[in-house]
Amino acid sequence: MIRPAIRMLALTVLGCSAWSQTVPVKAGVSADSGRCSLVITNNYSSALTAFELLAVADEGCTVDCRARSHYDGHIPGFSDPPQPIWEIAPGKTKALPYRNFPTPASVQVVAALFADGSSSGDPRVISELTGRRRIFFSEWQEMAAKLRSPEAQQMQIPELMALVKSRHEQYDKTHNGLERAAASSVYFYTAVSLQESQESGKTAEDAIAAVMRTADHFIANLKHDVAPGPHAPSPPN
């Protein structure tokens, strides 16, 4: 029996695509002591690595009360030391923090990526999820190359911060909204990390090393995900 303090909205999640494909993932929300969490169950035969969630704040809302958010276990967030990746094994359930409405009335997974290379749901959203991974991978490679260059090795932290800012501004001028949004996270984290190193009195060498730990972590995590090659078939409905 479910405790009254916890409200579960266990839904069979439908992909919002022209194919009306059923995503083999079950989603729900748990509201306990004012905190809202997602409860995600993977019903596919390969580990779930990423998904896009559509949440509705109020079923009776007369305006657009929907919010989309992505969850990618191979891009778990920036920190030093780097956060470990997560996956949801077949048949397993994982609770994740919900990042938008305090407690949504309903939730849907509109697209999902799996460890065997397969995907399910809205093709446009799948393209966004995989595209985001490629951008993170390429920009962390670019950042690592710049900070490891002989030129950067001779710089002090303020000069390194200017280098990152210049690359960010250059990227923004030549890429679209989705690409800019994903790449901005790389530049923002790098700038914040360098700033924190400067404020704590670290050397430029130590500041670069801190960024490199995160860069190398993401490059290693995403290398398999972005590798070219045939994709596995989509999961069955």
pLDDT tens figures, 195-221: 999 999 999 999 999 999 989 988 988
Q: What is the pTM of this model?
A: 0.78
Say if residue 184's pLDDT is above 50.
yes
Distance in angstroms (rounded) separating the CA atoms of residues 134 and 141: 11
In the predicted model, is pLDDT for residue 186 greater than 50? yes
* 35 pLDDT higher than 80: no
Contacts of 154 (CB under 8 A, 6+ apart): none
Average pLDDT over residues 92-102: 82
- Contacts of residue 61, Cβ cutoff 8 Å, sequence gap at least 6: none
Q: What is the pLDDT of residue 5?
A: 30
Q: Which among 37, 8, 234 has a CA at the least distance from the CA of 121?
A: 234
pLDDT of residue 88: 96
**Is residue 117 pLDDT above 80, yes or no?**
yes
In this prediction, residues 58-76 reach a mean pLDDT of: 73
The answer to whether 48 and 24 have CB atoms below 8 angstroms apart is: no
Mean pLDDT of the chain: 81
b/e burial code for range 165-193 (CB count within 10 A of at least 16 → b) = eebbeebeeeeeeebbebbebbbebbbeb
Question: By the 8 A CB rule, do 41 and 25 touch?
Answer: yes
For residue 75, what pLDDT is reported? 85
Residue 201, token pair as written in the block: 């009195």
Confidence of residue 56 (pLDDT cuts 50, 70, 90): confident
Residue 214 amino acid letter = T
Looking at residue 101, what is its pLDDT?
Answer: 62
- Closest by CA to 83, choosing from 207, 189, 214, is 214
Mean pLDDT is lowest, of 54-68, 69-83, 159-173, for 54-68
Sign of CA dihedral 76, 118, 132, 13: negative
Q: Kindly report the backbone phi and psi dihedral angles of residue 144, in degrees, each rounded to the nearest multiple of 5, phi listed first.
A: -60, -45
Q: Residues 120-128: what's their mean pLDDT?
A: 93
> 93, 27 in Cβ contact below 8 A?
no
Q: How far is CA 135 from CA 36, 132, 140, 179, 182, in A?
A: 30, 5, 8, 7, 7
**Angstrom distance (rounded) from CA 112 to CA 49:** 8
Instruction: Tell me if residue 95 falls in helix, strand or coil.
Output: strand
